[in-house]
A and B are shown apart, each in its own frame.
Chain A
C-alpha cells in the first residue's frame, strides 16, 4: 500500500500522532525511507525541532519576583480592608454561594443605605410635635369607688362595691371618707 506524501508529512512527521496505530506508523516510516521528498521535509523539521529545543530559556529580569510578591501583598492588604468594609460579600464568597460580586456589592450598598437612612431619621427627625388631641384629651375613664365597710379587717363579705359613680366626685385617699 502506498501512501501519498502529503498525508505522511501531515500526520506523521516528528510528532507521532498518538491516534495512529502501530501499523500506520510503520507504513509512514517505511515511506520516509523510500521517498526522498518526504525524507528531506522530515529532516528539516527535525532540524527545526532540535533548534527549538536548544533555545536558551529566557531569564526573568532581576526584581520581577519581588515586584510580583509586593503586588500580591498589597492586594492582600486591600482585601482585608474590603473584608472590613463589606463583610456580607466576604461571607457569601466564603460560603461559596456564588452570587455575582456586583450583585453582592449592590445588596450590601442597599443595606448600608437603609441603615444610614434609619440612623439619620433617628438622630435628626425624631418627632417633637404634640400628639393628636384625641389622645391627650380623651375622656377620663369612669372610676369605680371601692368602699370598705367599717368592719373587721379581712372580712371580705362586707365589701361593698358602689355602682358606677360619676367622675366629678372627687376621689380622696383619706380613709375617713370611707364611712
Chain B
C-alpha cells in the first residue's frame, strides 16, 4: 500500500484527489473520535468534515516528522474541542438523562434509522458517561480504547510524556467507572 505521506506530498503539489484518498482511508477514525468526543452523529459528521477541510487547507504545515494519521488526529481533536466549546455555549445540556435517551431513540427511529449507531442501552450509557468527562480524559480514552493507539503514539500526539498519558487514562477510567455507577439503573 502506498504510504500516506506520498499522498500528502502530492496534495502539497496541488493534487486534490490525492488528499481525497487520505479522506477515504481515515474518515472512519476521525468520525469515530469525533463521535466519542461530541456524543452525537450529526455533530460528529460536521466535525469530521471540518477537520479534513482544515487539514487540507493547512497541509503545507505538515512537517513529515510524524505520521500523517497522528497529525490528522491532532487536527480532529482541535476541531472537536472547538465544537465542544461552541456547544457548551449553546448550553445544550438536557435536563435528565432518561429524557435524552428517549429523545435520541425517537429521533433515530423516526428520522435516521440508518444512523443507529448505539444499538444497546448500555452503549448509550457509556457514551453518555464519556461525553461528560473532561475533554482531555475523553481524548485519551478514545485514543487508547477505541482507536487502539499506543501510549507512545498518544504521548506524541498530545505532546506530553507517556507517564502523563498513563495517569490521565487512570483518572479517566476511574471517573468513568463512578459515572457509570451513578447512571446505571438498578
- Which residues of A are in contact with B by a Cβ distance under 8 Å? 9-11, 13-19, 44-45, 47-49, 51-53, 55-62, 64-65, 67-69, 71-73, 75-76, 93, 96
Note all chain A residues with C-beta closer than 8 A to B24: 65, 69
Name the residue of chain B whose CB is nearest to the CB of A83. B14
Task: Give me the 6 closest cross-chain CB pairs, A-B, nearest first.
Answer: A76-B16, A58-B35, A52-B145, A60-B31, A19-B163, A15-B169
| CB < 8 Å neighbour of A14 from B126, B165, B173 | B173
Q: Is the CB of A61 within 8 A of B41?
A: yes
CA distance A51 to B141 in the complex (A): 12
| B82 CB-CB contact with A under 8 Å | no
| B73 CB-CB contact with A under 8 Å | no
Q: Is the CB of A18 within 8 A of B166?
A: yes
| B170 CB-CB contact with A under 8 Å | yes
Note all chain A residues with C-beta closer than 8 A to B180: 48, 51
CA distance A153 to B13 in the complex (A): 77
Give the segment of B1-9, B52-60, B89-97, B98-106 that binds chain A: B52-60
Given A15-B170, A53-B145, A65-B27: A58 and B117 within 8 A (CB)? yes
CA distance A11 to B169 in the complex (A): 10
Q: Is the CB of B126 within 8 A of A51?
A: yes
CA distance A62 to B145 in the complex (A): 24
For B36-56 the 0/1 string (1 means CB < 8 A from A) is 100001001100110011001
Q: Is the CB of A72 within 8 A of B117?
A: no
A144: min CB distance to chain B, Å: 71
Given A51-B126, A59-B117, A75-B56: A17 and B41 within 8 A (CB)? no
B47: min CB distance to chain A, Å: 11
A65: min CB distance to chain B, Å: 5
B54: min CB distance to chain A, Å: 11
B10: min CB distance to chain A, Å: 12
| B176 CB-CB contact with A under 8 Å | yes
A100: min CB distance to chain B, Å: 14
| B162 CB-CB contact with A under 8 Å | yes
A70: min CB distance to chain B, Å: 9
Note all chain B residues with C-beta closer than 8 A to A51: 122, 126, 180
Q: Is the CB of B167 within 8 A of A64?
A: no
Given A58-B31, A60-B28, A60-B45: A72 and B166 within 8 A (CB)? no
Q: Is the CB of B35 within 8 A of A73?
A: no
Mind listing 9 A-B residue pairs with CB under 8 Å?
A: A11-B167, A45-B177, A48-B176, A56-B118, A56-B119, A58-B36, A62-B114, A64-B45, A73-B16
Q: Is the CB of B166 within 8 A of A69?
A: no
Given A51-B126, A60-B31: A44 and B57 within 8 A (CB)? no
